Amino acid sequence: MAAILAERRHGFGFVTPLLVVMLAAFNLPILYMLALGFWSKQGGFTTEHYAALLDAPIYLRVLANTLRVSVVAMLVNIAIGYPLAYWMRGLSPRAQFIALACVITPFWISVLVRTYAWIVVLGNNGMVNRLLQWTGLTDSPVSFLYNELGVMIGMANVLLPFLVLPLFAAMLRIDDRLMQAAASMGAPPSTIFLKVFLPLTLPALASGALLVFILCLGFYVTPAILGGGKVPMISNLLDFLINQIPRWEQASALSTLLLIVTLLIFAAYRALDRKVGA
């Protein structure tokens, strides 16, 4: 027993520097941000910065708009990502490798570059509008940019791999003999999918959707560029409060509110997951 304890203490000594770095680099800034929201300019404890969030409805409207845009972007990712992962599962190993490479390749390109690329594609003189006018579907350019539609398209493009990759991995782990057993009992393909395959992929789908949703809440580059300042998101409002006014205490209170909302959503997901798993 003494030897085991000594070995554990020896191992903890190797881990301690990493823990100190994580504490200094991640935990302390978050604690400082939380404390700043309760600090007054006179140097005392106050809750006036949180009261200001309720007195100025603009903050709550921006939060509600951020949640709404994030939910829609998440649903778009689900609508595109689930069929894509399901299609990839049915490919040959060589074709799966090629499809997986196409999904992963955007990770090698800067988010800023990909966002500006959408301006080239969706702009008034972009490829999409030129194609629509050439085919006669529209007489004038369609406004894809500098509105919520452009922001959602850009966010869906950036975050799609975060849903497809874990979902595809979960689908590969499903034993084909389960579907074969259902088919041998006379179940049609639609029933096999709805009663066997879909329930087995729901945990991975829920986890991926939650990850996409949380990432959407803190998106900055895509809403700033494709929204053109016309789509209010919390990240853009925080940039305004920090770099242009500046009002660090108010930004801290708003960041804390966003953190609380995110933790509540994650807690609700965990509670639902445990309930379903039980």
Domain that holds residue 120: 65-231
Residue 241 domain-assigned (yes or no)? no
Span 129-154, average pLDDT: 84
Per the domain annotation, does 170 fall within a domain?
A: yes
Query: Structurally, how many domains does the chain consist of?
Result: 1
Name the phi and psi angles at 188, rounded to 5: -70, 165
Confidence at residue 55, expressed as pLDDT on a 0 to 100 scale: 80
Both tokens of 9, joined, read 């203490």
- What is the per-residue pLDDT for 277? 58
Whichever domain contains 129, its CATH number is: 1.10.3720.10
User: Does 11 map to a domain?
Assistant: no
Among 156, 154, 130, 141, which Cα is nearest to 228's?
A: 154
Among 49-63, 126-140, 167-181, top mean pLDDT goes to: 167-181
**pLDDT of amino acid 5:** 52
d(CA 147, CA 219): 15
Q: For residue 63, what pLDDT is reported?
A: 85
Least confident of 4-13, 130-139, 211-220: 4-13
User: What is the pLDDT confidence band of residue 270, given thresholds at 50, 70 and 90?
Assistant: confident
For the stretch 222-231, pLDDT in tens is 888 888 778 8
**For residues 73 and 88, what is the distance between their CA atoms, to the nearest angstrom?**
22
0.75 surpassed by pTM: yes
Q: What is the pLDDT of residue 143?
A: 83
Looking at residue 222, its amino acid is: T
> How many other β-carbons are positioned within 10 Å of the β-carbon of residue 242?
15
Residue 93 lies in a domain: yes
Residue 242 belongs to some domain of the structure:
no
Residue 245 lies in a domain: no
The per-residue pLDDT for 7 is 55
Kindly report, residue by residue over 52-80, the tens digit of the pLDDT: 777 878 888 888 888 888 899 999 999 99
pLDDT at 263: 86
Q: CA-to-CA distance for 228 and 117, rounded, in angstroms?
A: 15
CA 117 to chain centre: 20
In a domain, residue 5? The reply is no
pLDDT value at residue 27: 79
Per the domain annotation, does 140 fall within a domain?
Answer: yes
Using the predicted structure, report yes or no on whether residue 82 has a pLDDT greater than 90: yes
